[in-house]
A and B are shown apart, each in its own frame.
Chain A
């Protein structure tokens, strides 16, 4: 979670300095979900994400310096600068892709799940999406098929109550995403997405079940994105969270507090982890700045496979 937090905060700065270019969506506040879920997955478990994917790709194992290089459009980026923030792919670590159009990733995950089953593997597919994606037609088409074919797919909804600039209540009169999928009989649970222990525990149960063939499932993680929809969004459509309230909800601080109470780690560990994370991110910034831009001719090379 600290690695994601340090990364996202730095990316925010780099975006304002125009070193990270274009449209960027940060996941500060939602780290608990990425960490709680991805930490339990294998490299052969396929993960799909949406436009707010930095946390997911890092938690799934992508090297931070290559993620940052991609955001800075460099040759050393995960996609050699071709994809950018919304189209990160790290196939080596099973991060099969972030997509920029809401809901478009859900059927992709079903495809991976289907392939896994056909290959006789117990690998699962996980797809991250927001509450806004749930009202899209593509979502229910996917839910029906996943249920009908009992695919080993785990749908993880980061319900932060907002779809871009609009609250959930403007999109539907069904408050809980879990209630939307209920008619199709998916195993489902709603957890506090900012309690990384709860996320880890609930997802762990689903993961074990999916590997056994009990899929599909939906894990709804109630969370909060601290920043606007995109970097630069003044977010006038919602009330800013008071600092004290954020302290209560911050997934990192909550784990810190709980860890201290439960004796999981001594008091120096959180500070050390933060320091290590920020150091790693600074090193990534240095490496990314040193990486050259890709040659323009690259644009024509990858239009078709096999040429």
Chain B
């Protein structure tokens, strides 16, 4: 059975259910649990649910230390960019201790951060910077595009014994979706085929999944059948599903809100070029943000970002090329 929830509430539901199930799960961060009516505070008390000052290095470092001591903290960071001041703890501490200690310690933490808020939040609050975290050994990255996945991936992230950066897209915050009742787990490392088709594979991340699906409808009206894949997590990355699809379609378009270099799209493209080259009948096309800081003014902001028209255009380009190296 399922119930309808907005994306952001589905994430909270997952955290709540896991905190009920496992008393070692903690939840802290800025601006939470300050009112005695807060549902988390009421349910779990001020030991397990706390507000912190604006101290990301300490917040994440405390999570690591509490994890060493057997707890499973979820840290509310609000925005991906707020992790940047604490990059040492995210990249250099949390994911390395299990390894450096020869397996003695585990760091089962979840860093929850929103991203991509491209609706006038300007240069410092709108980034899609997950590319910075994808290649870090020991660090996992979840990227839900639907309310159901928001719940399922958060549950999986909390249960994972490794540090997980859980990126939720701000433009999806109020998107409603059917969310399964009760325990619901979406494993990290499993992509989802959202639409089947044989002519081209479109891999689309987060908020852009919706745009890719709309583009696919438009293309279908022109007789082009697109297969649309949602990776759901970036580390581990389910390249097998993508390769299987490209083996069928021969053409790949990747849609990513970050800028090209250092993007998830670049990583996926490299994987497919390396492992699936013989399937490709056209070069891989990336539809990414243009290389600039996100500007404030609305027309400029829209200009930079991927949209349906750009996706349709990219598909038509990859279909217009002659096969490569036949």
Contacts and interface: CB of A to CB of B under 8 A. Distances in A.
Answer whether A and B are interacting partners.
Answer: yes
Interface of A: 21-23, 70, 73-74, 77, 79-87, 99-104, 132-133, 135-138, 163-167, 170-172, 236-237, 293-294, 296, 298-300, 302-303
Contacts of B303: 296, 299
Contact of B297 (A74, A138, A300): A74
Top 5 nearest A-B pairs (CB, nearest first) are A22-B120, A84-B296, A81-B297, A73-B297, A296-B303
A85 B31 CA distance: 22
B119 interface: yes
A294 B121 contact: no
28 contacts: A73-B120, A77-B297, A81-B296, A82-B123, A82-B300, A83-B295, A84-B122, A84-B296, A85-B122, A99-B124, A100-B124, A101-B82, A102-B54, A132-B53, A135-B53, A135-B55, A137-B57, A138-B85, A164-B30, A166-B31, A170-B53, A171-B52, A171-B53, A236-B35, A298-B295, A299-B290, A300-B292, A303-B291
Contact of B55 (A83, A100, A137): A137
A100 B300 contact: no
Interface of B: 30-31, 34-35, 51-55, 57-58, 81-82, 85, 119-125, 290-293, 295-300, 303-304
B295 A299 contact: yes
B53 A22 contact: no
A164 B300 contact: no
A87 B300 contact: no
Contacts of A81: 295-297, 300
Contacts of A293: 297-300
A50 to B, nearest CB: 11
A164 B30 CA distance: 9
Nearest to A229: B31
Contacts of A172: 53
Nearest to B125: A100
B293 A303 contact: yes
Contacts of A87: 122-124, 296
B124 A86 contact: yes
B55 A136 contact: yes
Given A82-B296, A82-B300, A23 B58 contact: no
Contacts of A237: 34-35
Given A81-B295, A86-B124, A103 B54 contact: yes
A99 B124 CA distance: 8
Contacts of A23: 120-122, 125
B124 A300 contact: no
A171 B54 contact: yes
A255 to B, nearest CB: 32
A100 B122 contact: yes
Nearest to B119: A22
Contacts of A99: 124
Given A102-B54, A136-B55, A137-B58, A298 B122 contact: no
| Most chain B CB within a 10 A radius of its CB, from A80, A100, A294, A302 | A100
Nearest to A86: B122
Contacts of B81: 101
Contacts of B53: 132, 135-136, 163, 170-172
B122 A22 contact: yes
A165 B31 CA distance: 6
